[in-house]
Structure 1
Amino acid sequence: MTPTRIDSCTTIGEAGRYVLAGDVNGNPPLSSACIEVAASDVTLDGRGHAVDGNGVSDTTGVLVADVSNVTVRNLRVTDWNRGVSVRDASDVTVRGVTAVENAVGVDVRNADARVVGVRAEGNLHGVALADPGDDVLRRTETLGNHVVGVYAPFVVEAFGVGVSLGPPLDADGDGRYEDLTGNGQVGVWDAAALPAVVTTHYFGANAVTADQRLGLDFDDDGDLDYGDVLAYAGLER
């Protein structure tokens, strides 16, 4: 079946395959999106083209909301409040997207999403995963984002209660996430948080991304364990 071509801002209301016919320059009203995917079972292929905004607050380049089985791939989003936004959706894949100079490059909230092969550059927040326990983040490159490359708080569950920590930050740019609480400082609360993160990770009760595990591997043994707690404190086993 021949895919439907898109050459301007629109709402996708039927299942099927859609492609960008060229760059799309959007100027949607506030609290709206240039391209909204409002149907399940949709593939939107940008074919390398851009969905370009004008920097207005509370606008979105591509919105996927309240649907399932959707793929957004091979496009560029620039100058939006949210470049690609996935909300209240399931089985969504964002693949091969480049997000440049947005407030948030790729924003995932209350959704089950796979973010794969994304390049986020020059945004305030590169990729934001509000509930990372349901999401997959792979082969994502973040460059020069002004606040944080990947916003993905730890979710620690204890006695049936979920508590968010972070997201952890690399306070001094050395590739280590010493600032576990994400408050811009490294201190006693971070030292107290790491044992809780390691313990709940061991029992499968938290959501730690692969990048975070690497950044928390303070003893360089390739795993997140109690050796990292000792190394963080400057102690040896």
Structure 2
Amino acid sequence: MKRLLFALTIILALNVALAANVDLDQLDIAKFSLTTDEEKTINFEETEYIITTDSITPSEIKLFFSPNNLVITAKKEKPIEIDLNNDREVDFSLTYLTNLDAVTTIELKKTDLPEDEMDDESSPISDLNPKDQVNDILASIKANLKFLVYAVIVLIVLIIIVKSYKKRANPERLYSKAEALHKEAQEFHKDGDEETAQELYDKAEELREKARDMENSEV
């Protein structure tokens, strides 16, 4: 059961990480990974957009944005400008960076950044002053906070389920219940109801077998 809980926790953590939104209302520059069958949600001007991959090659990627039904094609390492909200103004640039083992890395960068930030392509975060770095980290945590809350809630539910299972499946409880059934069977036997008595004897023996199996598995 501990192994099952550990596996479920790992799966949950991976799902949360993959499902995390990219919040362009909080971040000026964002990098994220995308696989062929994966969807990525981005927040821009308090609106959610879903990005899916239409096709991926080593030199080119084709993406579909919904619900605005925008289709864009990007060449590798060549930024393209995107008007996401159809206001005839460029909102951000998109760059297809890498594609390794079917995992594509994409960078989104707002176009209204100061010139010194726009000119630096190598490391969008490392050259920020410490205060700005902290603000970016806090913004990223805030953007993904609801997914972390969901993860904690699900983990708590799993722990409660496991504890409840262990409590109900305690060998001593099974032995106690088997003894009660055995005594009840004896009463039916005294009254001459052999059929009911035998059914209760059988159920009591089944519980004893389960209890013995549990004891052996714990050794």
Asked if Structure 1 and Structure 2 have the same fold, meaning a TM-score greater than 0.5 normalized by the shorter chain, the answer is: no
TM-score w.r.t. the length of structure 2 is 0.25
Q: Which has the higher strand share?
A: 1
**Larger RCO (CA within 8 A; separation ≥ 6):** 2
State which structure, 1 or 2, has the greater radius of gyration over its C-alpha atoms. Answer: 2
TM-score w.r.t. the length of structure 1 is 0.23
Q: Which has the higher helix share?
A: 2
